[in-house]
Every structure is written in C-alpha cells, then in structure tokens.
Copies of this chain bind each other. A is one copy, B any other.
Amino acid sequence: MTVTIKDIARKVGVSPSTVSRALNGNTRISDTTTRKIQEAMEELDYHPNSLARNFANGLTYCIGLIIDARDENTFANAFFNRSVFAIEKVIQEYGYSLMITNDRKKEGKSTVENLMLEKKVDGLIMPSSIVRPELIMELNQAGFPFIVMGEPKKYKTDATWIDVDNELGSHMAVEHLIQSGYSKIALVTEKANTVFTQKRLAGYLACLKKHNIQINQDLILQYGQDITADNKRIEELMSGNSHPDAFLCGNNIIAFNVLKTLKNINYRIPDDIGIVTFDNYPVAEYTDPPLTAVDVDTYGMGIQVAKQLLRKIQDNSKDTNHMYIPTNIIVRESSMKGDRKNNDKNGGAS
C-alpha cells in the first residue's frame, strides 16, 4: 500500500491537515510535532503524491516546451539544445518539470492548445515559427503564461519574446571584417522572409553605411534549396569585376560551401577572401581554415526564457515585453587577413 498523510497523521497522533501543513510550511507548526512528523515520514518512507497535490492545487508544476515538427533539424540543432538544457535547469530549481512536445494537430485542436486546455502545463515556451495569431489570442484571452523564443513576425506586442540580437551580430561581423582589412563584403543569407534575415541585413547595411561603403546589391545573396547551383553562383560572382573580398554567411553549412567553392577556384582564405559565419555549430571550428563565427550565449538565453516565464506564472502578470540577447564574435583564421597563421599549434584557448 502507498503511504499517505493519513498514515503519518495516525502514527504521530495528529490530524492529516497538520501533516499537510508541516509538509508545505506555510503555517506555523510546533517544533516538536514537526519533528515527529518528519520522523514518521522517514520511517514509513512517505513520499507526497504529486498527482493528488497537483489536483488539489489545480497546478501541474510543468512547463511545456514546444518544438517545431516541421523543422527536422530542431532537435539536432545544438543552438536550441543548449537553451533547453538551461531551461530545464532553472525550472527544476523552482520545482517545475519540463515537458517537451511536438506541435502536431490532433482532431482540430493543436497539441499546444490541448496542453493549456487540458491543464497539462502551467506555462508554455514556443518557437516563433509556430506562432499563429489565433494561438496568441487564445492564450492571452485565457491569461495563460507563455514566452516566444525568437522574434515573431507579427503580433510583437501581444507576446513576450526573447531573441538573439541578429542585427548586432551582423553589425559586429561586418565591423570585424572591415577592421581586418576587407571592404567588399558579401552577405549570404538563408530564406529571405524571416525576421532574423531581415535583422541581419539591417545590421549589415548599417555598418557599411557607418563606414561610408557603397551598398552593392549584387553582394547580397541567398542560399536556397539547390546547393550546387548556389555554389555555381558564387563562382560566377567571383569571376566578375567587382567581386567581394569577404563573405558573411548565414550559417555553418552555407559558410562551408562558400569556403569549399572559393578554395576550388584557388582563392586563399583568409588572405584573398575573408569569411565569417553565423553560429558556432556544427562545423565552424573544424573547417580548414577554422571559421570566425558570430556566436550567442544560448545557455544564457535559456536562463532568461525560463526566468521570464516563471515570473509570469508566479506574479500572474499579463504584461508583454521583449529582450535581445547580445552576440559576440569568435575570431578564427578565416578572417585574419595578413595575420601570421598558427597552423601547427592550436591549443591554449582559455
């Protein structure tokens, strides 16, 4: 049989409510009975039944983390994962558990809606990619706490969101390239219609303008589905008159392909052409030469997300706000024009 507070109460000779109070510590209980109760719990190996506790409280002590089913790579994305790690750590400290769910549709209602409606979680964290207007409205109307990871395209003021400061990151990268002696800088983005691409473009343009460098639309490219064709376009670009002397790439895979293409047509990196990539994963460190990367403290981002959500839950606050996580730049060989390379020694990173 499972041991309940009644068993403890009977053994100690008090009422169940006293045991309950001793457990939660809200009310004052005499030291002696408290001690007796604790001893009895030890002896009978009592463990609170969270099923009953949650039911009585109407709380789940669970946070739902939604992942985007459409993005096969979400789970393989180290960026995302470090955040998850941080989120779990924080909420666990506050007595919450982390529930991870894919956003699937199920008989009309989506998984996310059911998480709220069926009281399976007390709060939600979700990627901006799944944010739909109806969902936001529904959550807000119910006063249900949630945080969006990534700046949403619309409804920016109807949700609290946290995102990487992509504009800053892009600005830093361009600044670094200019300081390193490059001037004709190309920007190679992923899909153009995302918020983060737009922000990166903005940072790129702003930094060029700051340095009075003329914008050349031919240097603003996009990598799409057909990698081979995209690489071909880089080749063609390089054969033109005003070809770039540096590339800022939207992610590691783009950067790797640009690097490979340039090497194939006998450009030397970084002496002829500089390369900087967004994100430090998965290959930035392992290409030849290693890639300078715009990095983000994704762990810190997770911490922020979790804390914001817990605050919302505990304060029952309905305000919305947003926050940008600053970027930093990890300088590696791919952008060190003219620097002496250390090919044989690469230890000693602090």
A residues adjacent to B (C-beta < 8 A): 47-52, 54-55, 58, 60, 62, 75-76, 78, 81-82, 84-85, 88-89, 92, 97-102, 104, 111, 114, 117-120, 227-228, 253, 256, 260, 264, 281-283, 286-288, 343-347
Contacts and interface: CB of A to CB of B under 8 A. Distances in A.
A288 to B, nearest CB: 6
Given A55-B52, A286-B287, A343-B264, A102 B89 contact: yes
Given A55-B55, A228-B347, A288-B288, A99 B102 contact: no
Q: How many copies does the complex hold?
A: 2
B97 A99 contact: yes
Contact of A98 (B51, B100, B281): B100
A346 B256 CA distance: 14
Contacts of A58: 51
23 contacts: A47-B118, A48-B118, A49-B119, A50-B118, A50-B120, A51-B60, A51-B119, A54-B54, A54-B55, A55-B55, A76-B81, A78-B78, A78-B282, A84-B100, A92-B104, A97-B99, A99-B99, A99-B100, A228-B346, A264-B343, A282-B283, A283-B283, A286-B286
Between A62, A89, A260, A283, the greatest number of chain B beta carbons within 10 A of the residue's beta carbon is seen for A283
Contact of A49 (B100, B111, B118): B118
A72 B74 CA distance: 19
Contacts of A89: 102
A286 B75 contact: no
Given A75-B82, A75-B84, A286-B286, A55 B51 contact: yes
